[in-house]
Amino acid sequence: MNDVFEKIIKGELPSEKVYEDEETFAFLDINPTNPGHTLVVPRHYSRNIHDISEKDWIAMIKVVRALAPAIQKAVGADGVNIIMNNESAAGQLVFHSHVHIVPRFNDDGFKHWKGAPYKEGEMAEVGEKIRKQVGR
């Protein structure tokens, strides 16, 4: 793989790095939702949640947990969203696993996703389908 994040990790493309270790690399998103919007990427390639190894997932999510409060404090934010987009339908644009840390401000105007209640009986059906897939 030689995607844009691979190139950033290798130093072939510039980035505003905020953290790195043996397994992960974190840098500012070039098109931030708010200043400080950071991407945490495992060095080892995977496409997304569906093929990432447990080892890389744990490494990435540990770094997310460590960076989130530092980022929030650094930019004086009031909160932070942790987001991972998986596949195009979910808004994934770069097909190299990454988690977004998005600083949020009380007055930034971004709203929650729309929700709508289930129809009669639908919630139990969906729950049953998922439990079957999970298989325990």
Contact pattern for ligand AMP over residues 99 through 128, marking x by CB under 6 A = ------------------------------
Distance (Å, whole) CA 64 – CA 70:
10
Instruction: Please identify, among the stretches 55-63, 66-74, 91-99, 113-121, the one whose residues bind ligand AMP according to the rule CB under 6 A.
Output: 91-99
- Give least dist CB 91 to ligand AMP, A: 5
Q: Where are the alpha helices (DSSP H) in the chain?
A: 4-10, 54-75, 122-134
Given 1, 89, 93, 130, the residue binding ligand AMP (CB under 6 A): 93
**CA neighbor of 18 nearest in space, from 93, 101, 80, 96:** 101
Token pair 């530092």 is at which residue?
Answer: 70
Shortest Å, Cβ 59 to ligand AMP: 18
- Can you tell me the distance from the alpha carbon of 123 to that of 126, in angstroms, rounded to the nearest whole number? 5
Candidates 1, 2, 31, 133; binder of ligand AMP (CB under 6 A) is 31
Start-to-end C-alpha separation, the chain: 35
Single residue of 34, 72, 81, 85 touching ligand AMP by CB under 6 A: 85
Catalytic residue positions, numbered: 98
